[in-house]
Amino acid sequence: MTSFRTSKSLRNSIRLGTAALVTASLTLTASTGFAMPRYDGIWSVSIVTVKGDCIASYRYPMKIERGVLANGGDIAISVSGKVAANGAVKVLLSHGDTHALGSGHLAANAGSGSWKTETCSGSWTAERRS
Average pLDDT over residues 59-76: 93
Q: What is the CATH number of the domain that holds 99?
A: 2.40.128.120
Is pLDDT of 21 > 70?
no
Is pLDDT of 8 > 50?
no
Which domain covers residue 5, as residue numbers?
1-35
Q: 98-120: per-residue pLDDT in tens?
A: 899 999 999 989 999 999 999 99
The total number of structural domains in the chain stands at 2
Q: Are residues 73 and 123 in the same domain?
A: yes
Q: What is the pLDDT of residue 33?
A: 42
Q: Are residues 24 and 52 in the same domain?
A: no
Under the banding of pLDDT at 50, 70 and 90, the label for residue 4 is very low
Burial (CB count <10 Å: 0-12, 13-18, 19+), residue 111:
buried
Q: Are residues 75 and 104 in the same domain?
A: yes
Average pLDDT over residues 48-71: 94
Q: Are residues 29 and 70 in the same domain?
A: no
Q: Are residues 70 and 24 in the same domain?
A: no
Residue 55's nearest CA partner among 21, 93, 22, 84 is 93
Q: Are residues 2 and 26 in the same domain?
A: yes
Q: Are residues 53 and 112 in the same domain?
A: yes
**Could you give the count of Cα atoms lying within 13 Å of 61 in the half-sphere of its Cβ?**
10
Average pLDDT over residues 1-5: 49
